Structure 1
Amino acid sequence: MSHIHEHKDDLLKRVRRIAGQVQAVERALESEADCAKTLHLVAAIRGAVNGLMDQFIEAHAREHVASPELSDQERAEGLEELLQAIRRYSN
């Protein structure tokens, strides 16, 4: 997965940002913060995870489905992997 390695630093920054957001929710719960504030923190996490998923979907589609160097079999496999991930994510 060369496309993952090429963007490793950016992906790690996103994941670490999400981890920080999860920690903020934990702190909010521990400190019995206002419900609305906590709700906004959770919504921010969802948005961040959606952005991360979008980045992975795009990279996978470009590398494993749309790349002109791929055989028809490789494209079919890449598409099936992508569809499985989308199905899991959307449930």
Structure 2
Amino acid sequence: MAHIAQNKKPLISRVRRISGQVASLERAIEADDDCGVILQQVASIRGAVQGLMLQLMEGHLKEHVAPKGSRSDELEPVLAVLRAYLR
């Protein structure tokens, strides 16, 4: 998993931000915050996780499925669909 090792620092930073969002959500639920606030936090967490998923999937596809030179031109349309889907 060279693509993960190469991007370890930004990936860990992203995971830590998500962890902070989840901790904030837990505090909001414990404090009986307004359900609108809680729903917004859940939506934010979902978006952050989907962004992480997209980053990992792109790395995996580029590194393992279609390495440079081998069908990489066919990979871009697939990535475009994934980017649109994971927004």
How high is the TM-score relative to the length of structure 1? Answer: 0.73
- Runs of 4+ in structure 1 over 2 Å off: none
Amino acid at match of 1:54: L
- SS for the counterpart of 1:33 is coil
Instruction: Give the 5 Å matches for 1:8-23.
Output: 8-23=8-23
Backbone CA RMSD of aligned residues: 1.3
Give the corresponding residue for 1:40.
Answer: 40
Give the corresponding residue for 1:2.
Answer: 2
Q: Post-superposition shift, 1:2? A: 1.0
Give the corresponding residue for 1:24.
Answer: 24
Of structures 1 and 2, the one with the larger relative CO (CA 8 A, separation 6+) is 2
CA-to-aligned-CA distance 1:23-76 (integer Å, 9 cap, x gap): 011000111101000000000000000000000110000000111487xxxxxx
- What count of residue pairs does the alignment treat as equivalent? 70
Amino acid at match of 2:52: L
How high is the TM-score relative to the length of structure 2? Answer: 0.76
Point out where structure 2 has 5 or more consecutive residues left out of the alignment: 71-87
Q: Is the 8 A contact 2:62 2:68 kept in 1?
A: no
Amino acid at match of 1:51: G
Point out where structure 1 has 5 or more consecutive residues left out of the alignment: 71-91
